[in-house]
Structure 1
């Protein structure tokens, strides 16, 4: 698609205005300079530098192993590749849950060293004071409720969350608390669509869903999954817009064949 070159960097204010004028928010994850440039040129509103880099870049089973230094590295790479998209960065596991001071210092490091525009933290009332401290320091925060991957060992699986009444009520209370604390948006992951619709309608700030139905104010997917680069991973909520795994393996196979047959480089490809 063609992007208006006069559009300036998207901010938290613009993201909230999108909800109020009923314009859906498009978010994808991004972890490197090259992909960030492509996403930015494609017109994406927000790039999330997710701790899912632990899965798609490093091959870990969970997001827990990734460090703050590694998140800063990925975030700085993405920021350098964008001119329009807002860049939001996950604070990784263990860097904000322990204390208010720890959360504040982790947040400041990411913002100062990466040049990102906002942070995302998983959890609700249990970390609300930590979130308030970060926001009061002038750092925008996006909340994250529902399936929170950093708590996967507590949940035991990656199944749908908040299906029972007690968990659904807690999620609604957490969402209101995050809004009152000053969060500019909330990611809702893998919860019933009806609950996500109810929460979205109850909030003045936008919700961004992943596996949470189409009544959220926006959607997010892991870019490697959306582009079909993650072999064998196809949850119900995932729509693949390309099949790049096959494209890449096919291209590599052709390259190997050309090299071995001395078809590459040809006369026009050498000095």
Structure 2
């Protein structure tokens, strides 16, 4: 069945109820056309702050602004019918206080039509999650590797090995207790990810975690192979659009230089053809 306006859009409650059902399919999107391609296949579309690296050429997510998230979030919303839309809160928009987090989360939802927000952090963000959910802001939590904290984590390292295991488990339990409807586990060991998934009553969404999580998420540009030089261990390329796209650009350039494009079928006659 093709996506139509008659389809019932998924909500945070629906996603939470999928804890014991089929795996939750999640992908990032930043544009209307990409969102439209996901309608028939994806449960959750995340407007991630990865947009800063993917579309704006930033070295990390720390330079992403509220204005950027609002711009891309509104574009994605225009393309969606069935999937639930979650939008990332950018670095610096929620850490200072729960009240600041509420103001910025409300703006994101109001200006984009998002169904929920996502923020990074476990125990340290529990009070903020509690504050938001008590005020009708659904929250998807994000623990393990939290990209906005790379300067304190020392880079994009696996989180939760050895003595660090207890910290990540504590973060998981804290965000559940605070009211998050789901939680992203990023770059956490497989065994720990499975343990967290079994311990929580809310869905876990894995990225570099475990096939045993309640769902999976990838950056769409990574899984489509739009980047030919960058491939994290946890990414599987389901397409080769980067190679295909460069090949198409090369073919176009060659035809323009050879004056074989445009051809007769691509140009307009001086006179209107007679019927």
Q: TM-score range by the shorter chain?
A: over 0.9
Give the Cα–Cα distance (whole angstroms) in 2 for the partners of residues 55 and 174 of structure 1: 26
1:17 is displaced (CA, Å) by: 2.0
1:7 is displaced (CA, Å) by: 3.8
Give the Cα–Cα distance (whole angstroms) in 2 for the partners of residues 7 and 202 of structure 1: 33
- How do 1:251-266 residues align onto structure 2 when only pairs under 5 Å count? 251-266=248-263
Give the Cα–Cα distance (whole angstroms) in 2 for the partners of residues 10 and 264 of structure 1: 46
Give the Cα–Cα distance (whole angstroms) in 2 for the partners of residues 270 and 116 of structure 1: 43
SS in 2 for 1:145: strand
Aligned to 2:64: 66
Aligned to 1:203: 200
Match of 2:222 among 222, 225, 228: 225
Aligned to 1:121: 119
Deviations 1:185-206 (A, max 9, x none): 0000001000000000011110
Structural RMSD (CA) = 1.3
- How do 1:237-256 residues align onto structure 2 when only pairs under 5 Å count? 237-256=234-253
Aligned to 1:25: 24
- How do 1:1-271 residues align onto structure 2 when only pairs under 5 Å count? 3=2, 7-21=7-21, 23-41=22-40, 43-165=41-163, 167-271=164-268
Deviations 1:1-25 (A, max 9, x none): x55756411111221222222x100
Deviations 1:88-146 (A, max 9, x none): 00000000000111111010000111111110000011121111111111111000000
In structure 2, stretches of 5+ residues that fail to align are 269-275
SS in 2 for 1:121: strand
Deviations 1:161-210 (A, max 9, x none): 11022x21121122112111111100000010000000000111100000
| Contact 2:3–2:81 under 8 Å retained in 1 | no
Give the Cα–Cα distance (whole angstroms) in 2 for the partners of residues 20 and 182 of structure 1: 18
